[in-house]
Each structure stands twice: as structure tokens, then as C-alpha cells.
């Protein structure tokens, strides 16, 4: 019984939050405490939408479709690579009060702008302006339907106000955190001040079982029975929302869970046109005028000017003589990261060895940037440190708030779930086998990189430092536990070594079992995962983290000796060399049970007796091991071997720098005209698939986060005295130029910033838009490290 009791107590620990007071109290995002940030474009997974920073927010959004196109089913809503848009993203966004986005669909462009205005007790008003223009290549001006919607998520209610026949002109509503409000849909015009245009109206009012179902509901309600007949054009039937169709559909289901309101206004017009959507908060009583038309234009103008000034003041790209097109690109990179920030609320699904089944983590909010609005619109722990390196330059308090959100997710053990898949919408994008987060699994503690920068900034200004002490004090016990968690659960086999837990176990199915936790997924490690292993990147992360811990502790007047000692130990280059320097390849390396003699081979699939053969593939790829593994250095050359340099662990006089700089500069190894490749061309696993279905990921392509660390390190070693100072400076200039040129060129050519870049052609690859860490290009341009 005792054993059973202990087991269930241990099982609960994984879902027990850290006992120290939260850094952010529950009201920190409320309209009373933070009115200017209450509403925002915090739904990064939709092309255009807004919500409030509160659980179960009322949301607003935009869907659209082109009418009379040769293909139907072209309803756009959530950001999907399958939509094959020619590019979309925020061109300007200040993270708080306004944004300008362009969306390039096949033969037209939508510009979506919003401006907020504070007043009342519920976060104030905002207006959207949506402008549609056909491309010059379009044969005829396309007819487009915009579908602007509001939806509740369990709480609150919406009432549609229908003018004339099918014309829904406004929605009124109420919710706990918004009080009463009204949303008005302006009529489309040919432009500001112009007369109205011929338009057809349709609408939908229905109930929804969840925000993740909105697209389907809209799609299923489309009917083709409506006629578009402009005064001087042909009559044609078009697709439109049909409340009647949905109503009959639902009555058959009678699903009691359907408790949220969903109201959509559809307007169908030929381009070019413009329309506005006005949100007015009921408690905002003394507004001087309505935020529409020329008032809106003026407001937008003012904010654009302020944005441009702040951008130049922060990054100084004009002063550095970048062209206006390059600056526009940099503004888009920053803006899309800011405009891609999400406010998520919900529960992770987590598993420890003590649970038979996964458990639900406590409900929590997470305010975070996301790597990619289309493919990964959710929080990733180590990505976030890189995101905040950029955003902390723009708005340091914002970064602190994000860090606080992440650390408020820490559990009593000191673990933070790596990938945050918190609500139905987030879950609907992830295959179920990837949803569960395991509590042995780490992810690099990049938030320490940001903390380091924030502390440096604060320490130059005693007043600002003292005003931030309370936050630091609340963060501190959490940081301590986080550090301890790494230091104990990820400890390696010999003193002062470290090992990533959670490597893939099914060794014969992968060319090299992955280490997702390190963030570098399929980067080659020891061929046979074992507890004998030690990982040089993790060693370096710990050297960095212990140093920052010592700093935070010192600033707060807490005991900091232990951290200082750990930092000194790990920074001792002799220890580092002893644990990780492979003299045979002259690289820093992991150590473990390893053989290079592995390859993937076709194997006949054995069909169990009595089973139909056609249900099984004929062959599959399995790993064949030609020489038995033994304990040795892994001898891979690539990003992992650069870590002692990337994180400045090497002393400037370390002779190892010579080898590293040589490898970096060598086109046969790491150098390319587009940036540093992740794995040397000479490595046996260079550009090798890991399984039949698993293309090379960190085995060659160029990643911008690591390249950012590399230019930063070159800048570092180029600015302190040492035998390699000049060399580092020279490589710095060249690498910096190559990175900027390529990411910029790809953006111009494809309309996107990408997840990674081909090391042979420089072409953008993988998920897009990826204005996560690839947006660090802005800091590389600004030389802010
Ligand atoms: C799988 C697919 C719709 C992989 O940028 C986020 C992470 C990085 O943290 C990591 O270092 N990316 C990098 O190696 C993307 C991971 C996405 C996993 C989601 C489910 C959903 O398909």
C-alpha cells in the first residue's frame, strides 16, 4: 500500500506547479492592469484575427475566398502552407497598438491593418481596415468575399443585427472580461472617401463546439444558390454562407456541447475595394469620434511614423546604409515576430515514468512568440530564448513578461514542458503522438541568453535595476529550481559532464537515433544511446547558465558561491578539453557508445501468418551495423562541435580556436556562401536521411539561430585581445554579409523568411513563414549581440 501511495504521490509531482509565488499574478494581463495590451493580434495561426489576453477570450477573425475561381474550396482562414500564398506577414507592428499586414493571394493582395484606441475599462476600441487590390497581372478584377467573424469560446454571447435581407450590419455582445461591446461592419468603398460599391451580403449565425471548428462550420454552410449581378456585368451564382443550411445540419445533431456563438458577416465585392470593421467597447463613453475613415487614416499615419522612428532608433539600419528595401525586409522580420505573438491558455498533456497514462498539466496562460505562424504556431522553449533576443531590444519589459510566463509554467521538479500545445486550436495542428510531453526531457535553456542581456541592460541603469528587482526576486526561486533540474536530471556519467535524456530508443529503425531534446533533432550523436554518453552542447549550456545564475544571485544579494564555482569549473578549458576534445579529428565532440559503420538497408517485411500480404509494405529500411560500437568520441563536425566557441566558453587564447576558425572557413567543411552549414560535408552522415520518411534536417542545412550565435561569437573574439582576434574579425565580416544577403535575397524571391536554408543553393526550405529565430537576421544587420 505504501509503495502504491508513493507511486501516486510521485505521479502527481509532474503536474504540480512550483510552490513559489507566481511571477505574474492572475490579473497581470487584465484590462485593469494592462489595458493597452488587452486586445492584440494574438492568434498567430490565423491570417488575421484578434483576441484578448484572457482565458476563453471572445475572438474575431477574417476568412476570405475568391469567387468564380476555377478551383473551389479556396476558403482561407488559418495560415496553411497548402494555400500556397505568394507571401504574407506583418510589415509593421509595434507589438501593442497597431499593425499593417500584406497577404498576397493568387491574383490579388489584401492589406489588413488594425489600430487600437484606449478608453473605458475593458481594453478600449479598435478598427480594422481591409484593402483589396488585384495584381497588375490579373486578367479581370477578381470578385472576393470577405468573411469577418466574431466567436465566443464557452463564455459570453453575441447577437447579430440584420439590416435588409441578408445584410448583417453589426454584432453586439457581452462577455465577462469585455463587458458590452459592439462590432460594426462598414460598407465597402472604392477607397477612403469614395462612393459605395456594388456588393452582395450574406451572413451566418450559429453555434460552435470549439474555435478549432470554425473553418469547417463556415465551409459546410457554403451554398451556391446566391446570384452576383453587378449593374454592368453578367449574373453569376457565387458561394455564400447560408445560415439555413447550417441550422438544418445542426438540428439533426443536437450536440449539447455546442455552446459558443459564431457570427459571420460576408461581403462580396469586385476589387479594388476597402472596408472597415469597428469594435467599440461599451464602457468607453467619452470617445471624441469614431475611429474610421480619415480619423483612422491619420491615426495609422502617426503610428507608422512612430514605428519607423523607433525602428531606426533601436536598430540604426539607415545609419548603417542599408537600402530602403533591405530595411523594409528587416521591419517585416521584426513585425512578423511581434505580430506572431500568441496568447494561449490551456493544459499540456504530460507523462512521467510514474504515470500509467498521461496527465493534464494545470491550466495556464502562455504569452509567447511562435516559430512559424503556419506550421508551428505555438510555444517552443528553446526557440523562445532566440525570439526574445530580438524582441528584448525592441521592448525589454515585453521580453521579461514572456520569460515570466514561461517560468510560471515550471513544475515542482523544475521542469518546463518543451512544446506548449495548450488549447484545442493548437492541438488540432499536431498529430496525437507528438502531443504528450515527457518530464525527463529538457530543451536548451536559451532563456538564460536573454536574461544575460536584460541584466546587462539593467546594470547600466541603477534606477531601472531597482524597479525590476521585485520581478527578479520572484523569478529567482524558479530559475534556481530550473538550473538544479538540469544539473541533476541531465547529469552525465563522469563528474561535470552532462547528457541529454530522452534520445530515441528504437535504435535499429534510425540511421542515428534522434535527440529532439537538444533542439538539434537528427544531428549525429553516439550511434548507440547509453548512459555512458556525454554531450558537449549541453556542457556549454550549463557553463553559460551557471554564470548567469551567479549574476542574478549576486544582484539579488543571494548566496551565489555555488553557481560561481560551477561556472568556474565548467569554464575551465582544461576540463572541457579533457571531456570533449577529440584529438583524432581535432574537434570538440560528444562521447559515447559509438560506431561510424552504420547504414540503412532494405529488409523484407515478415508478414504474420494469416494476415493479408497487401496490408504490409514489401520492404522497409532498417539499420545495419557493420562494426560493433565502442566507447569513444563521436567525431562529428558541425554545430555541436562549435558550442564551446558559440557560447564563448573558450578563452580567447585557446589554441582550439585555431581549429574551429579553420573548420568554419573551410568550404569542404562548414563554410558556404550563405552561412555556416549544420554538418560538415566530410561527415559520413552529411545530408543522409534518418529513415525512409525522415529527410536530413540538422545534417547540412543552414540554420539562422546557430549562425546568429556564430557571428556573435566572431564579434566577441574579434573584440578581445588574443592570437585569433584578427582572424575572427575578418570571418565575422564575411559571414555577416553572406547571411544577410541570402536571407534577404530569398525573401525577395519567394516572399518568405524560411525555417532553414540549403547549404548548396541558399534556397529557403522547410516551414514558412518562419519569422522565429530566422528573424535574428535583423540583429545581425544591426550588429546587436
Ligand atoms: C511536429 C508536425 C502540422 C524543429 O521550431 C520548433 C522546433 C525547434 O525547436 C527544433 O529545434 N522545430 C527544430 O529541430 C519544429 C518542430 C515541429 C514539431 C512539430 C508536428 C505538425 O504538422
Pocket test for ligand 1, best of 340, 368, 371 (most atoms within 8 A of CB): 371
Alpha-carbon gap, residue 56 to 74, rounded angstroms = 29
Count how many Cα atoms sit within 13 Å of the Cα of residue 552 in the half-sphere of its side chain: 28
Cβ count within 10 A of residue 96:
15
Ligand 1 center to 385 CA (angstroms): 15
CB of 120 closer than 8 Å to CB of 281: yes
Give the pLDDT score at 248: 54
CB of 519 sitting under 6 A from ligand 1 = yes
> Which protein residue has the closest C-alpha to ligand 1 atom 17?
376
For residue range 666-722, what is the model confidence (pLDDT) as tens digits?
999 999 999 999 999 999 999 999 998 899 999 999 999 999 999 999 999 999 999
Ligand 1 center to 376 CA (angstroms): 6
ipTM of this model?
0.97
Give the pLDDT score at 69: 83
For residue range 488-545, what is the model confidence (pLDDT) as tens digits?
999 999 999 999 999 998 788 899 999 999 999 999 999 999 999 999 999 999 999 9
- Coil, helix or strand for 559? coil
Ligand 1 center to 430 CA (angstroms): 10
Alpha-carbon gap, residue 518 to 640, rounded angstroms = 10
Instruction: Tell me whether residue 440 is one of the annotated catalytic residues.
Output: no
Residue 107 gets the label, from left (phi > 0), alpha (psi -120 to 50) or beta, of alpha
- Ligand 1 atom with the shortest distance to the CA of 770: 5
Q: Measuring CA to CA, how many Å separate 1 from each of 9, 10, 157, 191, 354?
A: 12, 14, 50, 75, 15
Mean pLDDT is lowest, of 10-14, 248-252, 359-363, 744-748, for 248-252
Cell numbers that stand for 539 in this block: 556542457
Ligand 1 center to 419 CA (angstroms): 9
CB of 375 sitting under 6 A from ligand 1 = yes
- Coil, helix or strand for 399? helix
Ligand 1 center to 767 CA (angstroms): 9
Q: 611: pLDDT confidence band, cut at 50, 70 and 90?
A: confident
Pocket test for ligand 1, best of 45, 342, 379, 380 (most atoms within 8 A of CB): 380
Residue 384, pLDDT above cutoff 60: yes
Q: 604: pLDDT confidence band, cut at 50, 70 and 90?
A: confident
268 forms bridges with which residues in the sheet?
145, 200
Helix residue ranges per DSSP H, 340-439: 381-394, 396-407, 424-427
- 455 burial (CB, 10 Å; 0-12 / 13-18 / 19+) is middle
CB of 521 sitting under 6 A from ligand 1 = yes
223 forms bridges with which residues in the sheet?
240
Active-site entry in 83, 521, 666, 694? 521
CB of 273 closer than 8 Å to CB of 190: yes
> Which protein residue has the closest C-alpha to ligand 1 atom 13?
519
Q: Is the peptide bond before 320 cis (omega within 30 degrees of 0)?
A: no
Instruction: Tell me whether residue 755 is one of the annotated catalytic residues.
Output: yes
Alpha-carbon gap, residue 570 to 523, rounded angstroms = 23
- Ligand 1 atom with the shortest distance to the CA of 772: 5
Ligand 1 center to 765 CA (angstroms): 14
Alpha-carbon gap, residue 27 to 44, rounded angstroms = 23
Residue 383, pLDDT above cutoff 50: yes
Ligand 1 center to 771 CA (angstroms): 14
For residue range 33-73, what is the model confidence (pLDDT) as tens digits?
999 999 999 999 999 999 999 999 999 999 999 999 866 55
Active-site entry in 153, 280, 533, 755? 755
Percent of the chain with pLDDT over 70: 98
- Coil, helix or strand for 91? strand
Alpha-carbon gap, residue 642 to 705, rounded angstroms = 13
Mean pLDDT is lowest, of 95-104, 172-181, 608-617, for 608-617
Ligand 1 center to 697 CA (angstroms): 11
For residue range 540-577, what is the model confidence (pLDDT) as tens digits?
999 999 999 999 999 999 999 999 999 999 999 999 99
CB of 510 closer than 8 Å to CB of 623: yes
Residues in CB range of 426: below 8 A, 6 or more apart = 45, 344, 346, 377, 378, 420
Cell numbers that stand for 281 in this block: 467597447
Give the pLDDT score at 255: 57
Alpha-carbon gap, residue 446 to 548, rounded angstroms = 11
CB of 773 sitting under 6 A from ligand 1 = no
- Ligand 1 atom with the shortest distance to the CA of 375: 3
C-alpha torsion 242→244→245→248, nearest 10: 160
Residues in CB range of 316: below 8 A, 6 or more apart = 782
Mean pLDDT, the chain, whole residue set: 95
Alpha-carbon gap, residue 720 to 728, rounded angstroms = 10
Give the pLDDT score at 3: 76
For residue range 247-303, what is the model confidence (pLDDT) as tens digits?
655 544 555 556 799 999 999 999 999 999 999 999 999 999 999 999 999 999 999
CB of 13 closer than 8 Å to CB of 412: yes
Pocket test for ligand 1, best of 373, 376, 431 (most atoms within 8 A of CB): 376
Q: Measuring CA to CA, how many Å separate 570 from each of 289, 456, 476, 550?
A: 62, 22, 22, 13
- Crossing angle between the packed helical segments 704-718 and 639-646, to the nearest 10 degrees: 40
Question: Residues 500, 501, 502, 505: is their CA dihedral positive or negative?
Answer: positive
CB of 748 sitting under 6 A from ligand 1 = no
> Which protein residue has the closest C-alpha to ligand 1 atom 22?
430
Alpha-carbon gap, residue 237 to 224, rounded angstroms = 6
Cell numbers that stand for 633 in this block: 568520441
Question: Residues 427, 429, 431, 437: is their CA dihedral positive or negative?
Answer: negative
Helix residue ranges per DSSP H, 528-655: 536-556, 561-571, 573-580, 639-646
Task: Give the burial string for 656-665 (b: 16+ CB within 10 Å, else e).
Answer: bbebbbebbb
> Which protein residue has the closest C-alpha to ligand 1 atom 20?
430
Alpha-carbon gap, residue 72 to 751, rounded angstroms = 24
Closest by alpha carbon to 130, among 218, 47, 241, 239?
A: 47
- Coil, helix or strand for 100? strand
pTM for the full model? 0.96
Cβ count within 10 A of residue 356:
8
Alpha-carbon gap, residue 568 to 547, rounded angstroms = 8
Cell numbers that stand for 619 in this block: 520492404
* Long-range contacts, stretch 715-724, CB < 8 angstroms, 24+ apart: 715/783, 715/785, 716/648, 716/785, 717/645, 717/648, 717/652, 717/657, 720/652, 721/652, 722/651, 722/652, 722/653, 722/657, 723/652, 723/653, 723/657, 723/658, 724/652, 724/657, 724/658, 724/661
CB of 485 closer than 8 Å to CB of 415: yes
Ligand 1 center to 712 CA (angstroms): 25
Give the pLDDT score at 609: 82
- Ligand 1 atom with the shortest distance to the CA of 773: 5
Residue 640, pLDDT above cutoff 50: yes
- Coil, helix or strand for 424? helix
Alpha-carbon gap, residue 506 to 526, rounded angstroms = 14
> Which protein residue has the closest C-alpha to ligand 1 atom 16?
376
For residue range 140-162, what is the model confidence (pLDDT) as tens digits?
899 999 999 999 999 999 999 99
Give the pLDDT score at 252: 46
Task: Give the burial string for 300-316 (b: 16+ CB within 10 Å, else e).
Answer: beebbeebeeebeeebe
Q: Measuring CA to CA, how many Å separate 316 from each of 319, 327, 568, 771?
A: 5, 10, 37, 20
Cβ count within 10 A of residue 491:
17
For residue range 683-695, what is the model confidence (pLDDT) as tens digits?
999 999 999 889 9
CB of 383 sitting under 6 A from ligand 1 = yes
> Which protein residue has the closest C-alpha to ligand 1 atom 10?
519
Residue 4, pLDDT above cutoff 80: no
How confident is the model over 454-475, as a mean pLDDT?
94
- Ligand 1 atom with the shortest distance to the CA of 418: 9
Ligand 1 center to 517 CA (angstroms): 11
Cβ count within 10 A of residue 22:
16
Q: Indicate the DSSP class of residue 607.
A: P
CB of 429 sitting under 6 A from ligand 1 = yes
- Coil, helix or strand for 57? coil
> Which protein residue has the closest C-alpha to ligand 1 atom 21?
430
Task: Give the burial string for 382-419 (b: 16+ CB within 10 Å, else e).
Answer: bbbbbbbbbbbbbbbebbbbbbbbbbbbbbebbbbbbb
CB of 770 sitting under 6 A from ligand 1 = no
CB of 482 sitting under 6 A from ligand 1 = no
- CA 492, distance to chain mean position in Å, is 31
- Ligand 1 atom with the shortest distance to the CA of 697: 14
Closest by alpha carbon to 779, among 675, 727, 704, 725?
A: 704
Residues in CB range of 478: below 8 A, 6 or more apart = 18, 20, 23, 407, 408, 410
How confident is the model over 189-212, as a mean pLDDT?
91
For residue range 403-457, what is the model confidence (pLDDT) as tens digits?
999 999 999 999 999 999 999 999 998 998 899 999 999 999 999 999 999 999 9
Amino acid at each position: 500500500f505504501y509503495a502504491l501511495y508513493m507511486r501516486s504521490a510521485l505521479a502527481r509531482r509532474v503536474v504540480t506547479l512550483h510552490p513559489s509565488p507566481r511571477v505574474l499574478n492572475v490579473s497581470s494581463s487584465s484590462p485593469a492592469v494592462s489595458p493597452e495590451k488587452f486586445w492584440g493580434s494574438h492568434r498567430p495561426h490565423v491570417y488575421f484575427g484578434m483576441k484578448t489576453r484572457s482565458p476563453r477570450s471572445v475572438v474575431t477573425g477574417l476568412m476570405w475566398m475568391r469567387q468564380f475561381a476555377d478551383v473551389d474550396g479556396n476558403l482561407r482562414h488559418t495560415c496553411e502552407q497548402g494555400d500556397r500564398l505568394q507571401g504574407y506577414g506583418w510589415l509593421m507592428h509595434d507589438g501593442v497598438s497597431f499593425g499593417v499586414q500584406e497577404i498576397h493571394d493568387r491574383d490579388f493582395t489584401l492589406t489588413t491593418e488594425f489600430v487600437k484606441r484606449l478608453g473605458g475599462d475593458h481594453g478600449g476600441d479598435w478598427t480594422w481596415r481591409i484593402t483589396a487590390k488585384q495584381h497588375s497581372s490579373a486578367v479581370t478584377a477578381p470578385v472576393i468575399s470577405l468573411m469577418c467573424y466574431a466567436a465566443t469560446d464557452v463564455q459570453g454571447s453575441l447577437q447579430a443585427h440584420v439590416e435588409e435581407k441578408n445584410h448583417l450590419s453589426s454584432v453586439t455582445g457581452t462577455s465577462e472580461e469585455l463587458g458590452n461591446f459592439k462590432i460594426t461592419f462598414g460598407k465597402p468603398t472604392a477607397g477612403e472617401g469614395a462612393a459605395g460599391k456594388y456588393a452582395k451580403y450574406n451572413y451566418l449565425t450559429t453555434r460552435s463546439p470549439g474555435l478549432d471548428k470554425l473553418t469547417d462550420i463556415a465551409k459546410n454552410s457554403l451554398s451556391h444558390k446566391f446570384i452576383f449581378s453587378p449593374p454592368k456585368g453578367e449574373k453569376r451564382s457565387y458561394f455564400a454562407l447560408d445560415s439555413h443550411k447550417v441550422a438544418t445540419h445542426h438540428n439533426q445533431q443536437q450536440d449539447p456541447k455546442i455552446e459558443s456563438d459564431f457570427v459571420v458577416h460576408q461581403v462580396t465585392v469586385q476589387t479594388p475595394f476597402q472596408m472597415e470593421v469597428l469594435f467599440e467597447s461599451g464602457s468607453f463613453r467619452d470617445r471624441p469620434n469614431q475611429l474610421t475613415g480619415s480619423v483612422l487614416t491619420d491615426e495609422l499615419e502617426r503610428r507608422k511614423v512612430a514605428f519607423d522612428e523607433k525602428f531606426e532608433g533601436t536598430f540604426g539600419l539607415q545609419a548603417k546604409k542599408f537600402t530602403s528595401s533591405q530595411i523594409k525586409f528587416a521591419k517585416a522580420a521584426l513585425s512578423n515576430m511581434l505580430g506572431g505573438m500568441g496568447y494561449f491558455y490551456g493544459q499540456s498533456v504530460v507523462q512521467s515514468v510514474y504515470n500509467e497514462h498521461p496527465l493534464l498539466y494545470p491550466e495556464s496562460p502562455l504569452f509567447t512568440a511562435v516559430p512559424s505562424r503556419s506550421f508551428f504556431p505555438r510555444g517552443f522553449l528553446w526557440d523562445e530564448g532566440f525570439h526574445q533576443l530580438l524582441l528584448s531590444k525592441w521592448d525589454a519589459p515585453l521580453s521579461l513578461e514572456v520569460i515570466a510566463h514561461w517560468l510560471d509554467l515550471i513544475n515542482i521538479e523544475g521542469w518546463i514542458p518543451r512544446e506548449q500545445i495548450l488549447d484545442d486550436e493548437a492541438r488540432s495542428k499536431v498529430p496525437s503522438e507528438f502531443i504528450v510531453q515527457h518530464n525527463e526531457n529538457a530543451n536548451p535553456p536559451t532563456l538564460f541568453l536573454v536574461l544575460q542581456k536584460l541584466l546587462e541592460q539593467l546594470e547600466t541603469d541603477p534606477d531601472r535595476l531597482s524597479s525590476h528587482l521585485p520581478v527578479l526576486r520572484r523569478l529567482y526561486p524558479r530559475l534556481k529550481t530550473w538550473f538544479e533540474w538540469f544539473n541533476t536530471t541531465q547529469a552525465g556519467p563522469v563528474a561535470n559532464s552532462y547528457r541529454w535524456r530522452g534520445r530515441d530508443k528504437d535504435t535499429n529503425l534510425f540511421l542515428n537515433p534522434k535527440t529532439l531534446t537538444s533542439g538539434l533533432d537528427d544531428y549525429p550523436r553516439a550511434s548507440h544511446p547509453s548512459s555512458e554518453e556525454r554531450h558537449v552542447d549541453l556542457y556549454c549550456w550549463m557553463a553559460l547558465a551557471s554564470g548567469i545564475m551567479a549574476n542574478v544571485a549576486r544582484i539579488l544579494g543571494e548566496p551565489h558561491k555555488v553557481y560561481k564555482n560551477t561556472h568556474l569549473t565548467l569554464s575551465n578549458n582544461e576540463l572541457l578539453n579533457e571531456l570533449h576534445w577529440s584529438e583524432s579529428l581535432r574537434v570538440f565532440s560528444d562521447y559515447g557508445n559509438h560506431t561510424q559503420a552504420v547504414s540503412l538497408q532494405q529488409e523484407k517485411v515478415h508478414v504474420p501468418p494469416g494476415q493479408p500480404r497487401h496490408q504490409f509494405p514489401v520492404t522497409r529500411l532498417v539499420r545495419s551495423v557493420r562494426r560493433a560500437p565502442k566507447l569513444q568520441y563521436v567525431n562529428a563536425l558541425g554545430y555541436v562541435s562549435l558550442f564551446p566557441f558559440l557560447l564563448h566558453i573558450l578563452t580567447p587564447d585557446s589554441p582550439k580556436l585555431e581549429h574551429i576558425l579553420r573548420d568554419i572557413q573551410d568550404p569542404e567543411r562548414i563554410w558556404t556562401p550563405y552561412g555556416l552549414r549544420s554538418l560538415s560535408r566530410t561527415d559520413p552522415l552529411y545530408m543522409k536521411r534518418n529513415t525512409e520518411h525522415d529527410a536530413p534536417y540538422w545534417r547540412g542545412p543552414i540554420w539562422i539561430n546557430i549562425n546568429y550565435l556564430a557571428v556573435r561569437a566572431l564579434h566577441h573574439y574579434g573584440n578581445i585581445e588574443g592570437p585569433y582576434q584578427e582572424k575572427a574579425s575578418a570571418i565575422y565580416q564575411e559571414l555577416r554579409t553572406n547571411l544577410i544577403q541570402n536571407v534577404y535575397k530569398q525573401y525577395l524571391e519567394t516572399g518568405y523568411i524560411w525555417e532553414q536554408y540549403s547549404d548548396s543553393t541558399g534556397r529557403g526550405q522547410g516551414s514558412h513563414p518562419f519569422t522565429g529565430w530566422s528573424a535574428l537576421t535583423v540583429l545581425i544587420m544591426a550588429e546587436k549581440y
